[in-house]
A and B are shown apart, each in its own frame.
Chain A
Amino acid sequence: MLLKLAWRNIWRNKSRTIITLVAVSVAVILSVLMMSAKNGVYENMIKSLIGDFTGFSQVHAKGYWDDKTIDNSLTLDKSILSEIENLNLIDGYSPRIENFALIVSDSTTKGAIVIGADLDREKHYNSLNERVAKGEYLEPNEQQVMVGAGLAEYLKVDIGDTLVLLSQGYHGSSAAGKYAIKGIVKFGSPELSKQLVFLPIKEAQAFYGVQNRCTNIILHLGDNNDAQLVAQQLGSKLGENYEVMDWEELAPNLKNMIATDKVEGYVFMFILYMVISFGLFGTMLMMLSERKHEFGVLVALGMKRLKLAIIVWLELIIISILGAIVGCVIAFPICTYFYYNPIYFADDMADIYEDFGIEAMIQFSLDPYIFIQQGLIILIISIVIGVFPFIKIQRLDAIKEMRA
């Protein structure tokens, strides 16, 4: 009954309703945009620094991450692979053998990380082939290598030169091989370019003396936000002999950095909420003073103050809900636009970003959580502010207001 009255009231004075509705939805739009841009920056950072190389989630043999040796590798048998394939959240996987090796060129020697990569999968999921800056992408059955650009520069080698790789293989065996350089790869992060060498996984298995084994399986997820979920689900399925890690475990420093940034962001969100809250408060206050006469009349006519207060509050809640929905509906296409058309930085700043291995752009996030969260927060703020008219009506001096 009260709801019906409230609903009718809302449509009685459309322009007033619209102003309040706009106030709420603008608040939602702003806070969603701010959150979306911010989370987009994180997502971009994580994607640039983790996604292309480390992967959002990895499977290892238990203990590998603490002691990264070939001895802690795992067998690529069907039972694991089918568990991985059976999990809907996972689009695909690419196995790798990673180990430290000494790279010897004619002029010098340097330690590097040699990665045995499943070239077809790396191409498909990570576009590794697009990183080839010079020469060509490896074929799966070749006995050649691709070298990081920074490493090639340090070793003073080029396409066609031969490198000797020395390392320790499985169960203490020695690993030695010489390979011609087929390609030079460039990564966003100079750190990676300085220390990576790629071998076809088959050749790497022969090099390290392991058959059908790998050290880590990179999982490619449908949605990168599922990393933690995947780690949990797959972890419990694979059991004790394996460890499934999400990116937060794989790159704890980045996680700390983002966590710090988020806390700092809360301060800004708090300030924004204050401005928004006052904007809403002001709007309601105005509405209240405008309707004082009307309320006075109603009370004088015998309407119970409590009933009236509830109706007004309900009006506010309905408007707020509508406002929150409208806000989300308007914010969504804006976010979507900036998701597909990220804001790119100007040249000099772009260079700085790219030196650090991050794509120089702000790409908004489309995480539905943001919309729900911000919509709810603003809704709650406006409902709480709505208590003010509620109290005001309780104390209304009907006679005085009627005369005014």
Chain B
Amino acid sequence: MFEIKKIGPFVLLFCFGFASFAQKSLSAKEIIQKADEVMKGVKSTRAEIIITTVRPKWSREMKMKTWSMGTKLSMILFTSPVKEKGTSFLMKDKEVWNWIPSIERTIKLPPSMMMQSFMGTDFTNDDLVKQSSIVEDYDHKIIGEATIEGRKCYKIEMIPHEDAAVVWGKILVWVSHDNYFQLKVNFYDEDEELVNKMVAYDIKKMGDKLLPAKMEITPMNKKGQKTIMEYLSIEFDVPFKENFFTVQNMKRLK
């Protein structure tokens, strides 16, 4: 149904994968590891994001604010469109709560709902809390160099381990030499056929860091369909009140 949902970890990587400058001669695994680990250094974030869902006959833009602390606590508040305004999500470990202002209810998403679409996007609710490791679950190999948007990139091939719960047969990642930007990720099935394509672009300084502000995910087998994510702003290491990430606070978010 929602083909893109299995890309969850990479979306997280996109959000937070802006590493420190590259050191020389890293192995493929180290490059990915660097990118993956950097976020653990960031204590907290506050950001504004627009997610655009594009379909052959329509497209829909949703604006939201997000807050995160460490890797296990985060919150999302929708600010537009009008119909979704005020809706908020709280993610705590593997659990997700949803505040729906129109019916004045907070619902802890039951497991059966975790595999459903997150607010009509191509992501599932489960993607919000999924923790799978792009370092541990794959074998990595540098297979070449390429230039994307004027930046030199490592072209890294990632083959999932036999027992990893990963549907892909192969993933190709283009990681820039500087900053470890994941500028392009291609997802292949086991017959080496391209299934999904993800690109990141529009690199600019946000908060105090340089990062790609936009990302596009395109499923290859669905014509005219894609998802675009765009950072309007992001701040790092912002302080939070003690009870900010609580169910009670979900209703009060602004």
Contacts and interface: CB of A to CB of B under 8 A. Distances in A.
Contact of A109 (B55, B84, B102, B110): B110
A177 B100 CA distance: 9
Nearest to B87: A174
B119 A174 contact: yes
Contacts of B116: 102, 168
Interface in B155-180: none
B241 interface: no
A171 B55 contact: yes
Contacts of A109: 110, 112-113
B218 interface: no
A111 interface: yes
Interface in B89-144: 100, 102-103, 105, 107, 110, 112-113, 116-117, 119-121
B182 interface: no
Q: Is the interface of A mostly helix, strand, loop or mixed?
A: strand
B226 to A, nearest CB: 13
B60 interface: yes
A104 B57 CA distance: 32
B58 interface: yes
A258 to B, nearest CB: 32
B53 interface: yes
Contact of A177 (B55, B87, B102): B102
Contacts of B107: 104, 164, 166
Nearest to B105: A164
Contacts of B119: 172, 174
A166 B113 contact: yes
A172 B120 contact: yes
A172 B60 contact: yes
A178 interface: yes
B254 interface: no
Contact of B112 (A71, A111, A164, A171): A111
A168 B118 CA distance: 9
B112 A168 contact: no
Interface in A205-234: 209
Given A109-B112, A171-B60, A176 B103 contact: yes
Contacts of A176: 100, 102-103, 105
Interface string B223-250: 0000000000000000000000000000
A173 interface: yes
Contacts of B110: 102, 104, 109
B58 A171 contact: yes
A154 to B, nearest CB: 13
Contacts of A102: 110, 112-113, 116
Contacts, number: 54
B60 A177 contact: no
Contacts of A168: 116-117, 120
B24 interface: no
Interface string A332-374: 0000000000000000000000000000000000000000000
Interface in B32-91: 53, 55, 57-58, 60, 81, 83-84, 87
A169 B83 CA distance: 11
B103 A173 contact: no
Q: Max chain A CB contacts within 10 Å: which of B87, B103, B116?
A: B103
Interface string A169-196: 1011110111000000000000000000
B4 to A, nearest CB: 13
Nearest to B62: A172
Interface in A62-93: 71
A164 B103 contact: yes
A209 B83 CA distance: 9
A246 B197 CA distance: 40
A296 B151 CA distance: 113
Nearest to A165: B103
A363 B7 CA distance: 57
A172 B121 contact: yes
A176 B87 CA distance: 11
B120 A171 contact: yes
Nearest to A171: B58
Interface in A105-119: 109, 111
B84 A173 contact: yes
Contacts of B103: 164, 176-178
Interface of A: 71, 102, 104, 109, 111, 164, 166, 168-169, 171-174, 176-178, 209
15 contacts: A71-B55, A71-B57, A102-B110, A102-B112, A164-B103, A168-B116, A168-B117, A168-B120, A172-B53, A172-B119, A173-B83, A174-B83, A174-B100, A176-B103, A177-B102
Q: Which 10 A-B pairs have the closest CB atoms?
A: A172-B120, A109-B110, A178-B103, A176-B100, A172-B60, A171-B58, A172-B53, A176-B103, A168-B120, A173-B83
Interface of B: 53, 55, 57-58, 60, 81, 83-84, 87, 100, 102-103, 105, 107, 110, 112-113, 116-117, 119-121
